[in-house]
Amino acid sequence: MEACPEVYTTPPVQPKEHKPGQLTREQVKQFFDEGFVLVKDFFTPEELQPSRDGTEELVDALAERLYGAGKIKNKYRDADLFTRLTMMEAEFPGTCALLLKEGKIHKAYCDLWVNDRLLNVMEQLVGPEIAGNPLWNLRPKVPSNDETTVPWHQDNCYTLPESLGSLIPVAWIPLLDATTENGCMQVVSRGHRKGVTADHVGVVGGTWYVEVLEEEMERTLGVNIKTDVVTCEVPYGGVLFINNAIPHRSLPNKTEQIRWSLDLRWQDPDKPSGFWGKRRPVLMRTAKDPNYKVPQNEWDKFFNADRGSELEMSTGLSGKEVDEFDTTVHGPWLTRWPIVRHNRHTRALLLQQGNV
Ligand SMILES: O=C(O)CCC(=O)C(=O)O
């Protein structure tokens, strides 16, 4: 696809009405000029508590499943949200991958996704018609685990090439203070301005992630790694807004606590979502109906999602028996970029494709 700098650097017509949560004019300008904006006090702790509680429920359900299947001998019920999954991961390596792979959304995350103040910001970034982009993640970054450290990438590298033509803002929302020590995000300021996706290669360490090398970013995106990298520490209650063309990564977690975060995305419903699976963008706000609410059957598609099989269907691997405790993660992004280093995730993909 041709370069689309204007998609990422041109704000839509700004709403005339003043609404709660809206970014200031300078913040909107920063989002389009530099590719990111950090709002340190967007939510109150009470507003994020349901997402913490919901995450505890998801971890509890996974503990029950693993215990029931004899994969773990202890449910670690006394441990809190910031330590329990680490213990489960130690006993059954790949537990974090299972949680990510399940892709089961909690109602609390849906409520956050349609939070009025977040949608007011999205109106400033994508315009009055707003849909939720089907790609979202709950990320448990357990301490000292390289599977949860995400290398430099542009989000467009994980989607169909056509998503380059759509602005897909991301709200990255930590469920505790995200710091340099526990693995906050870094962005390469202005790396979005050319509106291109640089070449990525896979995979990094023990992950299923592809990366864009620093030399490639400097060559193709015109950035200077020495001066343009910004470390974004986000306090609990804060939100980091980025776009789908800006290079970013997360740092390793060197603390004892799990760094939980959610990444939620939105877009203009008439633009391509770039999502490889079957799910379509979900309309969340429309100027045609000020009282519009997402119908329950739309949410049900997310509640019933099984991301593992969705990904396999999109790589043409459907119909194979799926092991619900298979901790390998692979998907169509691994077929888009050259794989220069293999590990158990890529080998599992090759095996399924009959290439070994
Ligand atoms: O949360 C992280 O560690 C990485 C998040 C990320 O890369 C993303 O949201 O695209």
The encoded tokens of residue 108 equal 């609390």
Q: Read off the pTM.
A: 0.96
**Residues 83-111 pLDDT 10s:** 999 999 999 999 999 998 887 789 999 99
Assign residue 64 a region: left if phi > 0, alpha if psi is -120 to 50, beta otherwise?
Answer: alpha
pLDDT score recorded for residue 351: 86
**Residues 259-316 pLDDT 10s:** 999 999 999 999 999 998 888 899 999 999 999 999 999 998 878 877 766 665 555 5
Q: Which atom of ligand 1 is nearest to the CA of 249?
A: 7
**Hey, how many other C-beta atoms are within 10 angstroms of the C-beta on 318?**
11
Range of the domain at 186: 5-353
| Residue 280: partners with Cβ closer than 8 Å, 6 or more residues away | 134, 273
**Residues 22-80 pLDDT 10s:** 999 999 999 999 999 999 999 999 999 999 999 999 999 999 999 999 999 999 999 99
The encoded tokens of residue 144 equal 């000292």
The burial of 137, by beta-carbon neighbours within 10 Å (0-12 exposed, 13-18 middle, 19 or more buried), is given as: middle
Ligand 1 centroid to Cα of residue 17, in Å, is 32
pLDDT score recorded for residue 110: 96
Is residue 259 in contact with ligand 1, taking CB distance under 6 Å? no
Mean pLDDT of 232-257: 98
Q: What is the CATH number of the domain that holds 192?
A: 2.60.120.620
Percent of the chain whose pLDDT exceeds 70: 95
pLDDT score recorded for residue 313: 54
pLDDT score recorded for residue 199: 98
Q: Which atom of ligand 1 is nearest to the CA of 263?
A: 9
Q: Which atom of ligand 1 is nearest to the CA of 172?
A: 9
Residues 210, 221: Cα–Cα separation, whole Å: 17
pLDDT tops 70 at residue 317? no
Cα–Cα distances (Å) from 320 to 111, 159, 242, 333, 344, in that order, read 35, 23, 37, 20, 18
> At how many degrees (to 10) do helices 116-126 and 25-34 cross?
60
Phi, psi of 257 (to 5 degrees): -105, 150
Residues 129, 12: Cα–Cα separation, whole Å: 11
The answer to whether 1 and 164 are in contact (CB under 8 A) is yes
Protein residue closest via CA to atom 2 of ligand 1: 250
- Model confidence at 318, pLDDT cuts 50, 70, 90, reads low
Protein residue closest via CA to atom 9 of ligand 1: 263
The most distant pair of C-alpha atoms in the chain lies apart, rounded to whole Å, by 59
Please tell me the least confidently modeled range out of 118-132, 164-178, 207-221, 306-320: 306-320
Ligand 1 centroid to Cα of residue 354, in Å, is 31
pLDDT score recorded for residue 315: 57
Q: Which atom of ligand 1 is nearest to the CA of 248?
A: 7
- The rounded mean pLDDT for the chain is 94
Residues 285, 192: Cα–Cα separation, whole Å: 26
Element of type H or E holding 342: none
Ligand 1 centroid to Cα of residue 322, in Å, is 27
The encoded tokens of residue 200 equal 């990525």
Residues 258, 82: Cα–Cα separation, whole Å: 5
Among 136, 139, 251, name the best residue to mutate to test ligand 1's pocket (greatest count of ligand atoms within 8 A of Cβ): 139
Residues 10, 122: Cα–Cα separation, whole Å: 14
Which amino acid appears at position 314 of this protein?
S
Cα–Cα distances (Å) from 174 to 26, 45, 141, 164, 313, in that order, read 24, 11, 11, 26, 31
Is residue 242 in contact with ligand 1, taking CB distance under 6 Å? no
Ligand 1 centroid to Cα of residue 278, in Å, is 22
Ligand 1 centroid to Cα of residue 296, in Å, is 28
The answer to whether 282 and 134 are in contact (CB under 8 A) is yes
The burial of 80, by beta-carbon neighbours within 10 Å (0-12 exposed, 13-18 middle, 19 or more buried), is given as: exposed
Residue 290 has, within 13 A of its CA and on its CB side, a CA count of: 0
pLDDT score recorded for residue 356: 62
3-state secondary structure of 72: coil
Cα–Cα distances (Å) from 98 to 5, 42, 265, in that order, read 37, 30, 22
**Residues 156-186 pLDDT 10s:** 999 999 999 999 999 999 999 999 999 999 9
Is residue 187 in contact with ligand 1, taking CB distance under 6 Å? no
- What's the domain count of the chain? 1
Which stretches does DSSP call E strand in 106-224?
A: 130-132, 137-141, 170-174, 185-188, 201-202, 210-211
Is residue 253 in contact with ligand 1, taking CB distance under 6 Å? no
